[in-house]
Amino acid sequence: MTAATSLPGHAQVGIVGGGPAGLLLSQLLHAAGITSVVLEARSRAGLERLIRAGVLEQGTTDLLTEAGVGERLRREGAVHHGIELRYDGESHRIPLSMLTGGKGITLYAQHEVVKDLIAARIAAGGYLAFEATVTDLQPGGDGPAGITYTHAGKAATLSCDFIAGCDGFHGVARQAIPPAVRREFLHEYPYGWFGILVDAPPSSPELIYARHARGFALVSTRSATLQRMYFQCSPTEDAQGWRDGDIWRELEQRLATRSGWRPVEGPIVQRDVVSLRSFVCEPMQYGRLFLAGDAAHIVPPTGAKGLNLAAADVRTLAQALVAHYHEGRSDLLDSYSGRCLQRAWRAQRFSSWLTTLLHTDPTQPDFEARLQLADLQHLTSSKAAATALAENYVDLARH
């Protein structure tokens, strides 16, 4: 890692946030000969321990490979060619690859993507500062932009041609867009996810999405020995108030089939409650500041679009910056927000639809529950409906 004392005072692109979006952008710009500095508030160890979902669309795996960080992904990632929908005690497979011309998804945890990107940036001698706190952004206008930050107890300023705000929902980048210019759309769902990490082999060769009268449940995987499972709960649920046996009984009830299927149990090594929200900020650019990833939009995790949308934003921004520096073009930078927002709203529509389809609302009348079942029956009996789901699931963020 480049030492703080050797960080330059100027870079073509200043990147706020060293999560997957910021790191991937820096890696793509490096390949195009464009200099960047990445400023990340968290420690390297903290970033690499942050276990998040890792369902990668085809376009995301292609982009990571293009960025030169696809070797371990290809070796260790689990390629899935379908998903399983469960309701009324029966399982129904949606053959993703068969319905989309061979496309599938790859399960490769987000923290592994981060590890690969950090290693690549350090190997390339990239400017990457951990535990660097950004205190102010100057989005710029006709002149250069600037980032004020502290690192190792010292204050510093980075001047740059452009700023990429990749610092997440709670970061400072979005706040640099004046309130009079910025419009935010927020929808909070009346339920959350109780999530557990389990030290056990996979319970299923593919992801399981289950609708049950008691609420939604999901079976996923992180590795050959680490599994991730969720069940719907109140967003204010106390994760530590549940005994292990009660957690397993709840999962078994919601995932039960008439054939007697049961999840593979093991030690629960982590538990938490995740609230569900949909969020979009418009516009995604102001002056010389460009937002990417969670700084601009949040989707409920049901559709597995968060990391994929971030990667798509970064791809779009990198292409625009390359066109600016190598071709003298500004059109792609000027249209960045509009192009990304169109894709973000498509992802919101899909994610909201899938979330509403599979979750039970305590205030929901029986009529609405019957409509859910009718929709699921249509989805699992109509090739056209299943194809629409598959196309959105495996490659929505590429377009």
| Among candidate residues 186, 219, 191, the one with its CA nearest the CA of residue 360 | 191
User: How many residues are there in the chain?
Assistant: 399
Residue 328: count of CB within 10 angstroms of its CB: 7
CA dist 143 to 41, 161, 173, 224, Å?
26, 8, 18, 51
Q: Is 388 helix (H, G, I), strand (E, B) or coil?
A: helix
Query: For residues 341 and 316, is the Cβ–Cβ distance under 8 A?
Result: no
CA dist 31 to 37, 78, 143, 239, Å?
14, 27, 26, 44
Q: Which residues are catalytic?
A: 80, 209, 301, 305, 393
The amino acid at residue 328 is G
CA angle 162, 124, 70 (to 5 degrees): 95
Query: For residues 191 and 361, is the Cβ–Cβ distance under 8 A?
Result: yes
CA dist 304 to 68, 78, 106, 236, Å?
23, 15, 11, 23
End-to-end CA distance of the chain: 35
Cite the beta strand spans of the chain per DSSP E: 10-16, 36-39, 55-56, 78-80, 83-87, 90-94, 105-107, 127-129, 132-138, 145-151, 154-165, 183-199, 208-210, 217-221, 226-233, 268-282, 285-286, 289-291, 297-298
CA angle 266, 268, 274 (to 5 degrees): 135
CA dist 232 to 194, 214, 357, Å?
6, 8, 13
Question: Backbone phi, then psi, for 182, in 5-degree steps?
Answer: -90, 135
Query: For residues 88 and 373, is the Cβ–Cβ distance under 8 A?
Result: yes
CA dist 158 to 37, 144, 150, 322, Å?
9, 10, 11, 21
Torsion angle (degrees, nearest 10) of CA 366, 367, 368, 370: 90
| Among candidate residues 62, 59, 17, 10, the one with its CA nearest the CA of residue 36 | 10
